[in-house]
Amino acid sequence: MNMTFRWYGRGNDTVKLEDVKQIPNVKGIVWALHHLPAGEVWTKEAIQDEVDYIHSFGFHTDVVESVNVHEDIKLGLPTRDQYIENYKQSIRNLGEVGVKVICYNFMPVFDWTRTDLFHPLEDGSTALYFDKEKVMNLDPQELVNEVRASSDLTLPGWEPERLARLSELFEQYKEVDEAKLWDNLAYFLQAILPVAEEAGIQMAIHPDDPPYSIFGLPRIITGAESYEKLIKISDSVANGFTFCSGSMGADPQNDMVAIAEKYAYRAPFAHIRNVKIMENGSFFETSHFTSDGSIDIKNIVRTLNDQNYEGYVRPDHGRHIWGEQCRPGYGLYDRALGIMYLNGLWDAYENLKK
């Protein structure tokens, strides 16, 4: 297990790398050029500048999350070829500085979606919350307005430029059902995987969050079946997964321990976090501690440990605790606690082997 921490970059994150340095066992920073819109080439200069800064703290920069996929690629528009060329160039440029894994997702329009960014929990902290009924009944624009009014910080996929085109995007997706989205993903992968292989990079697709259709948009990376389909598209080593216990696990039908057992070998990157799922399907994010939520975190770690998992691991969204003002889900404190829990579990299982 190679422990990492996601960071949004200088001037774009409340967390400082000096502080991340004090969390035991963190080896690398999961980074991205967050200021670049999807579809643009990541230039060698911009990459080098970011990587040099992170290295100056002694962290590795092996994992990028995410190089976002332009909407035209997901929609399968004729303009996609140029965006795919740009994506390939970004892969090559990232390979040159030694990046090993690129996390990406193929979710139409929105990245992860929540209805409340600061939902109060009983312990006095706040956390991200997904009210299923609300999402099923609200128009996306209404939801976006409501959530944005609660925070200045945008969720990924909720950038103002994209939101301005919301109705246009929804119109375009009327032509794209699940089968079409799979075709568009296959087209993209067939084009980029040979380049990734050559660059020594594994692509690692992140599951959809939540792992089912919302607002009538297709969602395809939702469970074990999706993994089987992905492998059928290409069994190249570059065609990898990001295991995310909280995203895929938000559907109680997904047994995340079984999924880890079966697919961790194809996942060079793992996000480990907990969610508490309610009877009506709504969920909120909890601490990483197993008993606080619905996901069997300790047995996920045990499974990875049994397999001598050497991939990159990071805590995922945390609660907002001790008054921390931070990006929703991405504060320092609760993710640091999450890391120490994962470290503890790992050490304990490691010890049992002796």
Residues in the site for ligand DNO, rule: CB under 6 A? 65-66, 103-105, 111-112, 156, 206, 209, 244, 246-247, 271, 316
Shortest distance (Å) from residue 229 CB to ligand DNO: 19
Shortest distance (Å) from residue 107 CB to ligand DNO: 7
Q: Where are the alpha helices (DSSP H) in the chain?
A: 17-20, 44-55, 71-75, 80-96, 132-137, 140-149, 160-164, 166-173, 178-199, 224-233, 245-248, 256-263, 297-306, 333-352
Does residue 316 bind Mn ion (CB under 5 A)?
yes
The 3-state DSSP class for residue 127 equals strand
316 is a catalytic site residue: yes
Residue of 288, 316, 320, 333 marked active site: 316
The Cα–Cα gap between 108 and 184 comes to: 11
Shortest distance (Å) from residue 103 CB to ligand DNO: 5
**Residue 308: how many CA atoms within 13 Å on its side-chain side?**
1
Give whichever of 254 and 323 is closer to ligand DNO, judged by the CB atom: 254
Give whichever of 66 and 126 is closer to ligand DNO, judged by the CB atom: 66
Does residue 244 bind Mn ion (CB under 5 A)?
yes
Bond from prior residue into 66 cis (ω within 30 degrees of 0): yes
The Cα–Cα gap between 171 and 8 comes to: 31
Does residue 271 bind Mn ion (CB under 5 A)?
yes
35 is a catalytic site residue: no
103 binds, among Mn ion, ligand DNO, none (CB under 5 to 8 A by kind): ligand DNO
Which residues neighbour 57 within 8 Å (Cβ) at sequence distance 6 or greater?
Answer: 17, 18, 20, 21, 29
62 is a catalytic site residue: no
Give whichever of 287 and 350 is closer to ligand DNO, judged by the CB atom: 287
111 binds, among ligand DNO, Mn ion, none (CB under 5 to 8 A by kind): ligand DNO
Residues forming the active site: 206, 244, 271, 316-317, 330
